[in-house]
Amino acid sequence: MKVLVTGGAGFIGSAVVRLAVSRGYEVVNVDALTYAACLDNVASVSDSPLYAFEQVDIRDRAGLDTVFAKHRPDAVMHLAAESHVDRSIDGPGDFIETNITGTFNMLEAARKYWVETGKPESFRFHHISTDEVFGSLPNDPAIKFTEDTPYDPRSPYSASKASSDHLVRAWHETYVLPVVLTNCSNNYGPFHFPEKLIPVIILNALAGKPLPIYGDGSNIRDWLYVEDHADALLLVVEKGEIGRSYNIGGENERTNLELVKTLCAILDQKRPKSSGSYADQITFVTDRPGHDARYAIDPSRIREELGWRPSVTVEEGLAQTVVWYLDNEDWWRALQQRHGVGERLGVKA
Ligand SMILES: NC(=O)c1ccc[n+]([C@@H]2O[C@H](COP(=O)([O-])OP(=O)(O)OC[C@H]3O[C@@H](n4cnc5c(N)ncnc54)[C@H](O)[C@@H]3O)[C@@H](O)[C@H]2O)c1
């Protein structure tokens, strides 16, 4: 099977590319190489005969048509997006153009190719989305996001992703394009860009800097190891039912404060300070505008219909992640030089 993966030089896309190549898929990685991309993320597979790279922007429809005609994929896994909520608050325009118009271009390029190749039944357009489209949950463990939860996005990022989800469903209903969708909770793991919470905490801790916690740290996220997400995505593109969406989550709800304390405890063990704990560096900072209180995924559908299970607990995954950052300083030091990384973003609203 030949899969066209968009955003394959980013955090989750690169995990999909690495896993897919290791399982014998042919992979065409289509990525514009924005500030969030790093081709080192796929260095382990880039010499494989199964791997090809195309530097194309999904806002460039003609460029996408050329890629489809040249590579003739059996399936599309669409991950390319602007993904950082804080950046979406400061500059929503890029999120509208890439996440909405870019997805429209992907759908149209895929539809043209699918029609020209005789509408093969086996073709799939897999759209990768987020649980943030469902909005914010009350702090009640009995209430979780299911596939039927109404959409209620509250940030420019989540609104742009929600729009793209609607487009994908509409292309299925209207043009019968064989689509599948997934909505996943927060990911963490190796190659996570150093502007996101977990790498920021690890790297600030090591640098002796404050560990910034938005608001009072009570916001709850449901954490999933990125390689388990990649595994779920390959399962859905292969076995997911056409037109259906699947929620993916690790059932690992943590407040941000609990998460940061866990990371500090792992660091205290793996790279002890000369005195005290990394937790002494925790600092509460002004909250993000419109900060959603709680996300929690009910993954029953993907578990029961497709048999997916995460392979690691959050404690195992976080420990592996900390060790990865300790062992891969060259990777993150280079990315820390990129525009806006290390600055407090998203407070202008
Ligand atoms: N990170 C998470 O916790 C999470 C959770 C659920 C869903 N998602 C979704 O998964 C996908 C990947 O997220 P991520 O965290 O890996 O993002 P990321 O920011 O790490 O990577 C995004 C990739 O897309 C590429 N890209 C951006 N704009 C592009 C454009 N116009 N044309 C072509 N390529 C472009 C970037 O160069 C980058 O390589 C996104 O669609 C995101 O909404 C992320």
- pLDDT at position 348, please? 67
Q: Which domain holds residue 160?
A: 2-190+226-251+292-314
Long-range pairs for 97-103 at CB < 8 Å and ≥24 separation? Answer: 97/59, 98/58, 98/59, 99/157, 99/160, 99/161, 99/163, 99/164, 100/160, 100/163, 100/164, 100/167, 101/59, 102/57, 102/58, 102/59, 103/58, 103/78, 103/127, 103/163, 103/164, 103/167, 103/168
User: What's the sign of the alpha-carbon dihedral 123, 11, 224, 230?
Assistant: positive
Report yes or no on 271 lying in a domain. no
d(CA 224, CA 230) in angstroms, rounded, equals 10
Report yes or no on 220 lying in a domain. no
Report yes or no on 82 lying in a domain. yes
pLDDT digits (tens, 9 = 90+) for 179-227: 999 999 999 999 999 999 999 999 999 999 999 999 999 999 999 999 9
Report yes or no on 338 lying in a domain. no
The mean pLDDT of 108-127, rounded to a whole number, is: 98
pLDDT digits (tens, 9 = 90+) for 150-166: 999 999 999 999 999 99
Report the CATH number at residue 94.
3.40.50.720
d(CA 179, CA 243) in angstroms, rounded, equals 5
Active site residue 304: no
Report yes or no on 270 lying in a domain. no
The encoded tokens of residue 100 equal 């909405």
Q: Which of 16, 33, 34, 157 to mutate to test the pocket of ligand 1 (most atoms within 8 A of CB)?
A: 34
Domain count, the chain: 1
Active site residue 131: yes
Report yes or no on 141 lying in a domain. yes
Report yes or no on 236 lying in a domain. yes
Nearest atom (ligand 1) to Cα of 132: 6
Report yes or no on 12 lying in a domain. yes
- pLDDT at position 290, please? 86
- Residue whose entry in the numeric block shows the structure tokens 């190659």: 191
| Residue 332 contacts residue 207 (beta carbons within 8 Å) | no
d(CA 198, CA 202) in angstroms, rounded, equals 6
88: CA distance to ligand 1 center in Å? Answer: 13
User: Does the pLDDT at position 260 exceed 80?
Assistant: yes
